Structure 1
Amino acid sequence: MRLPSLKLQARLTAYLALLHLLLAGCAILLLLQQPILFIGAELLLVASMALGWWLVRRALEPLGYTRRFHDLLQDQQYASRLAAPGVTELDDLVGMFNGMLTALHRERLAIGEQQGFLERLLEATPSAVLVFDFDHAISLVNASASSLLGLGAPLGKPLSAWLGAGDDGEAAFDPALDERGRARSRDLVRQLDALALGESRLLVDMEGRRYRAQRSRFYDRGFARHFLIVEELTAELEDSERATYARLIRVLAHEVNNTVAATGSVLDSLLTYRGQLEERDAGDFVTAIVAVKRRNISLGEFIDRFTRVVKMPAPELRPTRLQDVVDDILWLNREQCNARGIQLGWSRCDAAGPLQLDVQLIEQALLNIVKNAVEAVDERNARDASKGGTIRVELEDLGERVRLSVTDSGGLLENAPPHRLFTPFVSTKKGGQGIGLMFVREVLGRHGCTYALAPAGAGETRFDIWFPQS
């Protein structure tokens, strides 16, 4: 705006000068005939020139204020104010400009406060949030998303940057992640990158944790930008499943136990008729009755195994050395492993201190895990006509946590989705009922443990449990 105002001032000045020069030329004609009129005409021309110059300056003065207002807007100096010149017309213009600056200043403060609140809210929210720029590169990632995905230096990169194979892909993850952690993060990134706009989907990672992920968009300066919200639902869904299974098992137990009790009573009564049968029929009669009674007992024991999970008591926590619990479990399984040619390995860590555990519950859970490992090796041997195998148990002190790992060479998880293994009625073993891991999940959950069951490569399966240190 500066150059147009100068040009206009120059044009108006040139116009006034040219006009008065012409008038001055006409006044020269009076010089010889009427000198007094000439002098009066010249004085009037000088006064007119001065008046015209003053009027031009007053007319262009609003443009000067407009130029200063433009400079303030361009420099974003919304807290500044223009001084009033004391002229009625200009005072109104300056008041309007100052009102606009005040409104902009207040709006800027409000936007800044909202932006600060949103940033603090995003950092505090337990949901993972990723915001992308116009080119779909990450422009914002909160603390929950950093912890969940473990992306190294994520700003300015699209999600697809973490899906590459080889060293470049590995280098993009947090260096603190191990190989399994990087594989888990890459799997989650792959699922998130595949989400379409407006889609909401339940995601499951390699460790069985479940998440609700949604991709949406907002508009920034007229252009659409995408963002992702990821919320972990593992505990909520497990509580819902637990309540559903509890109701189902109670109904089944009630109906089955009533039927078994009534059937058992009838069968006992039928045995009293044995003496009324001929000897050749009595044997078959008793055999059939005993077989049905044995089946009744098996059915009752089957239901009892489910009800023990549902009716599990609250853990009674006491300081316990996990090393001693593992020693006892391995001693109990030593003979049967030797008979099957299975080698038991135990990497004991005496530096780990006592943990707050319910000995009976933890012992039963670890017995189930070792029992599953033995059965997995047996099943592999039966399938491949091989002999022997290995089961390795390792305890490691990680500072705030203690990690217990059970690795077997059974390899039953090579073609099985690990995230479904802790679901009731799901099992990778032939004839398995899916009760053991459900019991293990309940026990570990009540002790505040995290766990992971996944293939470990080379045909092995690894069960990791992280116990919190008190």
Structure 2
Amino acid sequence: MKLKNKYIIFVVTVHLICLVLSFLIFEQHKLLFILSEVLIILSVLLSINLYRQFIQPLAYLKEGINAIQDRDFSVRFLPTGRGEMDELIQVYNQMMDALREERTKQQEQHFFLEKLIETSPTGIVILDFDQQVKQINPKAAAIMDTHAEEFLTQMASLKIGEAKTWRMDGLKSYKVQKSNFIDRGFARVFVMIEEVTAEIFEAEKNAYGKVIRMMAHEVNNTVGPVNSILSLALGTDELWISGNKTSLKNAIQVAVDRNQNLNLFMRNFADLVKLTPVKKLPVDLVPLVQTVSDFMQIKARQQAIVFEFDLPHQPFLIRADAQQMEQVLINIVKNAMEAIGSMGTIKFSLDAIAQILTITDSGEGIPTALKEQLFSPFFSTKKDGQGIGLILVREILLHHGFEFSLKTIQPGHTEFMIKLN
């Protein structure tokens, strides 16, 4: 039973009892009876007034509770002029003001956080309580566009607080870091994905550049004087007049030739760190591809490799350094021929609308275990490879601002793709 109903029953019961008792007691004294009835009526009026004073705060409290349940923190009560009631109203109004300010503050922080996540240059993936992707910002969506499963596998393998650097397709490198935050008393996981390709490439270049310069310096300081001495000896006829010294002379000549090969070997490495600045000029890519294929045609015939072309008939101009781009194409074709070995095809495709050049070979493809090491300094799958071909390609294309990728689509179908815009 509600409190107001109990109060009404109590007041009615008491006044009925008083009415009956006054009638029985003052039955013979009408004046006293009338006076008692007047007092009872006054008591009833007073009770009604007290009832209203008691019920009004309860009504205010009910309205206040409904406002809180509806999350309407703009409801305020006006003072009534009664001390106790006004104290209650003041406390309620202060509480609503504090709740409204807190909610406004939280909404502003939430909006700021959402905006920060959306515009962050770092990819952010937020998981729900079941470790499923709940929210993903545009940067993370772009990164995971073509490698979602691989990224999800990497994220699942990480523990809270761990970070891992992962190289995708041997080219782009990403730092994946897992952490958590508290949501309604429970831990929720989020993952940050940051591309660190440029930083890693710069660090690699600084490292191998220093090593190459040191090696070139030492080799040149040694090979130059030694070759001078050996050549002087070979050119001094008096040393070879007496006796049969043909074998010694041949041995010295072999040493000179090996020194020359060592010089060439070091020059290849030195070229990697001495790339001339890119001189971008309008270049028609179609005849450039044809020139490279003609240059490699003899070697291709020896290996029974056929060149195929899907090129536009009209000129396709790009802004590039013709010599450096020619060097890129020669290295790509050379690697494709080595991957094929013998009897295969290399196809040149140029999409003029998408501005993409694709060189496809029918070789064995890139082993899964090695694809992350592509474009790494000095890495080569060939027995006598120096591991600088793809590095040189990487540096030239990066200096041109061209995006590129190398991947095996399926057995017998490996693509080197260059975006020319």
Q: Find the aligned partners of 1:127 and 1:351 in 2 and give their Cα distance.
A: 41
2:353 is aligned with 1:398: yes
2:179 is aligned with 1:216: yes
1:267-299 per-residue CA deviation (whole Å, 9 max, x = no partner) reads 345547773577445223222222222222111
In the other structure, the counterpart of 1:76 is 71
Q: Counterpart amino acid of 2:201?
A: E
In the other structure, the counterpart of 1:462 is 415
1:59-108 per-residue CA deviation (whole Å, 9 max, x = no partner) reads 33222211111011111111232222222222222122112111211222
Q: Find the aligned partners of 2:252 and 2:264 in 1 and give their Cα distance.
A: 19
Distance 1:376 1:97, change over 3 A: same
Distance 1:89 1:132, change over 3 A: same
Q: Counterpart amino acid of 2:214?
A: V
**Structure 2 counterpart of 1:425, from 358, 378, 394:** 378
In the other structure, the counterpart of 1:57 is 52
Q: CA deviation at 1:26?
A: 1.9
Q: Is the 8 A contact 2:170 2:375 kept in 1?
A: no
Q: Is the 8 A contact 1:274 1:285 kept in 2?
A: no
Q: Is the 8 A contact 1:128 1:142 kept in 2?
A: yes
In the other structure, the counterpart of 1:233 is 196
2:374 is aligned with 1:408: no
Q: Find the aligned partners of 1:257 and 1:207 in 2 and give their Cα distance.
A: 33
In the other structure, the counterpart of 2:102 is 107
Q: Find the aligned partners of 1:441 and 1:18 in 2 and give their Cα distance.
A: 99
Q: Is the 8 A contact 1:130 1:142 kept in 2?
A: yes
- Return 5+ residue gaps in structure 2 as ranges: none
2:399 is aligned with 1:446: yes
SS in 1 for 2:160: coil
User: Taking structure 2 as the reference length, what is the TM-score of the superposition?
Assistant: 0.94
In the other structure, the counterpart of 1:173 is none
Q: CA deviation at 1:444?
A: 0.6
1:359-418 per-residue CA deviation (whole Å, 9 max, x = no partner) reads 01001111111122222223xx4xxxxxx221111111234xx11111222225245522
1:31-77 per-residue CA deviation (whole Å, 9 max, x = no partner) reads 33322222222211221222123223213322221111101111111
Q: Is the 8 A contact 1:451 1:465 kept in 2?
A: yes
Q: Find the aligned partners of 1:241 and 1:207 in 2 and give their Cα distance.
A: 14
Distance 1:332 1:273, change over 3 A: closer
Q: Is the 8 A contact 1:199 1:215 kept in 2?
A: yes
State how many pairs are aligned: 421
Alignment of 1:71-150 (within 5 A): 71-150=66-145
In the other structure, the counterpart of 1:12 is 7
Q: Is the 8 A contact 1:413 1:428 kept in 2?
A: no
In the other structure, the counterpart of 2:31 is 36
SS in 2 for 1:308: helix
SS in 1 for 2:175: strand
SS in 1 for 2:26: helix
2:265 is aligned with 1:302: yes
1:210-240 per-residue CA deviation (whole Å, 9 max, x = no partner) reads 1111121111111221111111111111111
Alignment of 1:231-270 (within 5 A): 231-268=194-231, 270=233
RMSD: 2.1
1:237-258 per-residue CA deviation (whole Å, 9 max, x = no partner) reads 1111111111111111111111
SS in 2 for 1:417: helix
2:250 is aligned with 1:287: yes
Q: Find the aligned partners of 1:350 and 1:111 in 2 and give their Cα distance.
A: 62
1:416-465 per-residue CA deviation (whole Å, 9 max, x = no partner) reads 52231211211122211111111100111111111111223233322111
Q: Find the aligned partners of 1:272 and 1:458 in 2 and give their Cα distance.
A: 56
SS in 1 for 2:102: helix
User: Taking structure 1 as the reference length, what is the TM-score of the superposition?
Assistant: 0.84
2:149 is aligned with 1:205: no
**Structure 2 counterpart of 1:377, from 325, 340, 345:** 340
Q: Find the aligned partners of 1:351 and 1:61 in 2 and give their Cα distance.
A: 89
In the other structure, the counterpart of 1:434 is 387
Distance 1:142 1:352, change over 3 A: farther
Q: Is the 8 A contact 2:169 2:374 kept in 1?
A: no
- The range that moved more, 66-75 or 81-90, is 81-90
Q: CA deviation at 1:303?
A: 1.0
- Return 5+ residue gaps in structure 1 as ranges: 151-180, 382-387
Q: CA deviation at 1:352?
A: 6.5
Distance 1:113 1:250, change over 3 A: same
SS in 1 for 2:171: coil
Distance 1:416 1:274, change over 3 A: farther
Q: Counterpart amino acid of 2:173?
A: R
Could you say which structure has the greater relative contact order, defined with CA pairs below 8 angstroms and 6 or more residues apart? Answer: 2
In the other structure, the counterpart of 1:343 is 306
Q: Find the aligned partners of 1:196 and 1:257 in 2 and give their Cα distance.
A: 50
SS in 1 for 2:158: coil
Q: Is the 8 A contact 1:203 1:211 kept in 2?
A: yes
Q: Find the aligned partners of 1:435 and 1:429 in 2 and give their Cα distance.
A: 12
Distance 1:421 1:281, change over 3 A: farther
Q: Find the aligned partners of 1:18 and 1:241 in 2 and give their Cα distance.
A: 96
